[in-house]
Structure 1
Amino acid sequence: MVRRVVTGVSASGKPVIVSDGEPPVTRQYTHTPGFARSLVWNTAAPATPSADPTQTLKSYVPAPGETIALTVTFPPGSVYADPGWDPVAAGAEQLENTPGLAELFEPDNPGMHTTPTVDYGVVLSGEIVLDLDGGETAILGPGDLVVQNGTRHAWRNNGAEPATLFFVLIGAAGTA
């Protein structure tokens, strides 16, 4: 999945690497093959250096001023078209693994959701389509950046390979 390097300060006051490896809150989804998510870090407001807070995160929707950093790997759309794909089991898995966020996805319009956040997104690999409620789309590739301003949207992978994105969600007042 992804490698996360976390720095800190030793008892003697020197900068040190506290951890180096896969984020501990990493999920490879069972009911949507190829879908994966890693919680990289999260902060409360005001942000302060801390021990790893990811194990105790209660909601994947940050409150105003809080942040969540995560990677998401989107499988090709063909996964969702496979007759063996079970949307009920996949939805339950999302609810279990991304509380707060999974509830915002619209059951009658797959993938569409609105979050009370400003999000910074970076495409790390693959190609993904940002699908906006009004019908506009943007095709994004490696290195492309997006600022998602609390608008109704979905992410679509129309290609044959997975697409991995890095997101920073910033809790915002007055959105959604």
Structure 2
Amino acid sequence: MKTRRVVAGTQNGKSVFLADGDAPHPYEYEHVPGFATSLIWGTSKGPSIPEGFSDPVQASTSLLPGPGETKLLMVGFPPDGIFQSTAFDPAQANIEQQRHLIGLYECFDPQRPGMHATPTVDYGIVVKGPVILELDDGQSRELNTGDVVVQQGNTHAWRNPSSEPALVCFVLIGSRA
């Protein structure tokens, strides 16, 4: 999943492009083909408009924002069929996710694959669908390209019923539980 990141801001009182290139730290999961994450941006609590360019992603240690902070995350979801493949190794996938889903991995329920809840308010924009949002009460909704979902710390899982990877852009806003 290659994502271009363009950052505009102000330098010396003038609007300028500060960065234009591939998003930093994209990760395509070897053990879950089609699953990919790329942290695009983040802000600290009470962000201010900076002068110049300082990349907040380089200093980030977690995919989840703290209370009052934000993160912008692109997630590629593999087709559900990947998990049924004889080549899929759940133990290796788990190890890989533990290393790369820092902060988020701990929010997953080990008894219910994919189910997780985060202390965030999330805006999810489906860039390429379909994807299915499944809630822990058994309800689900299919979301398609252009659809937007708002989540408020609720337990959920994402599924991809198609044969192609799906792509969702998430704005995560750190909240207090």
Q: Give the aligned length.
A: 173
Instruction: State the Cα distance separating 1:3 from its structure 2 match.
Output: 1.4
Runs of 5+ consecutive residues of structure 2 not aligned to the other structure: none
In the alignment, the residues of structure 1 paired with residue 103 and residue 81 of structure 2 have an alpha-carbon distance, to the nearest angstrom, of 27
Aligned match of 1:115: 118
Q: TM-score with structure 1 length normalisation?
A: 0.94
Aligned match of 1:82: 85
Query: What letter corresponds to residue 6 of structure 1 in structure 2?
Result: V
In the alignment, the residues of structure 1 paired with residue 42 and residue 25 of structure 2 have an alpha-carbon distance, to the nearest angstrom, of 12
Instruction: State the Cα distance separating 1:13 from its structure 2 match.
Output: 2.1
Runs of 5+ consecutive residues of structure 1 not aligned to the other structure: none
Q: TM-score with structure 2 length normalisation?
A: 0.94
After TM superposition, list the pairs within 5 Å mapping 1:113-152 onto structure 2.
Answer: 113-152=116-155
Work out the percentage of aligned pairs sharing the same amino acid.
47
Aligned match of 1:47: 47
Comparing 47-56 with 124-133, which one deviates more in the overlay?
Answer: 47-56
- CA deviations 1:86-142 (Å, max 9, x no partner) are 111111111211211011111221100011111000000120000000111010000
Query: What letter corresponds to residue 103 of structure 2 in structure 1?
Result: G
Aligned match of 1:29: 29
In the alignment, the residues of structure 2 paired with residue 25 and residue 56 of structure 1 have an alpha-carbon distance, to the nearest angstrom, of 11
In the alignment, the residues of structure 2 paired with residue 132 and residue 149 of structure 1 have an alpha-carbon distance, to the nearest angstrom, of 12
**RMSD value over aligned CA atoms?**
1.1
Instruction: State the Cα distance separating 1:151 from its structure 2 match.
Output: 0.6
Whether 1:62 aligns to 2:61 is no
SS in 2 for 1:55: coil
Aligned match of 2:109: 106
Comparing 48-57 with 28-37, which one deviates more in the overlay?
Answer: 48-57
Query: What letter corresponds to residue 90 of structure 1 in structure 2?
Result: A
Moved over 2 A (4+): none
Aligned match of 2:95: 92
In the alignment, the residues of structure 1 paired with residue 120 and residue 44 of structure 2 have an alpha-carbon distance, to the nearest angstrom, of 14
